[in-house]
Every structure is written in structure tokens, then in C-alpha cells.
């Protein structure tokens, strides 16, 4: 196990562009030491034969056929637009020709 010093915390803070108050350096030193001890503990776990994964529960994307379904309120929606052009909403031009 490695020992983290206050200088190590200052260096990491500098690399991460964090402005740590000097009064918190001792707190963060102890926290970082505990984090690294835990990581060392995890490294000791035998993971041979365990396939790599990105999540604990497999997620399956549920898809369906994309089908156009007529709606009963289409005309009502188009008529509610400030400007309409046929079956479309008319909007102000935002790009130059």
C-alpha cells in the first residue's frame, strides 16, 4: 500500500485544475488514501473466467416497426398554426438562399 502525502494531493489538484483550500488538504489526503486502499483491495479479487461487461444487468433495446398511423386531430393541429402551407406549417426562413 502506498502512502499519500499532502504534496501528492496538491499535485493531483493542480493536474485537475482544482483550487483546493489549504485547510482541506489533510482531509483529502486521508480520503484519497482510503480510496486507493479500496482499489488495492479490489485488485486482489480473482476475476479469472469472469467476462468483461459494461453493466450489471444486460439492457436490450426494444424496437418496433416504424409505421405511419393517421391521427384524427391532424387538421385541427394544422389549422391552429399561425401560418399554414398545404399540409405543412409555414415558418420564417432562417437560412439565406
For residue 88, the cross-strand partners are 85
Q: Provide the CA 23 distance to its chain's centre, in angstroms.
A: 31
54 or 16, which is more confident?
16
Closest to 1 measured CA to CA, from 24, 27, 28, 32: 32
Instruction: Please give the span between the terminal C-alpha atoms of the chain, in angstroms, as a whole number.
Output: 67
pLDDT of amino acid 2:
63
54 or 90, which is more confident?
90
Q: What does pTM read for this prediction?
A: 0.49
52 has pLDDT over 60: yes
Amino acid at each position: 500500500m502506498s502512502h499519500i502525502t499532502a504534496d501528492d494531493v496538491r499535485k493531483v489538484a493542480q493536474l485537475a485544475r482544482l483550487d483546493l483550500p489549504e485547510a482541506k488538504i489533510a482531509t483529502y489526503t486521508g480520503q484519497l488514501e482510503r480510496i486507493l486502499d479500496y482499489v488495492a483491495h479490489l485488485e486482489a479479487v480473482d476475476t479469472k473466467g469472469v467476462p468483461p461487461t459494461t453493466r450489471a444487468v444486460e439492457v436490450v433495446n426494444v424496437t418496433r416497426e416504424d409505421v405511419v398511423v393517421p391521427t384524427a386531430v391532424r387538421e385541427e393541429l394544422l389549422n391552429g398554426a399561425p401560418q399554414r402551407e398545404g399540409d405543412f406549417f409555414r415558418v420564417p426562413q432562417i437560412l439565406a438562399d
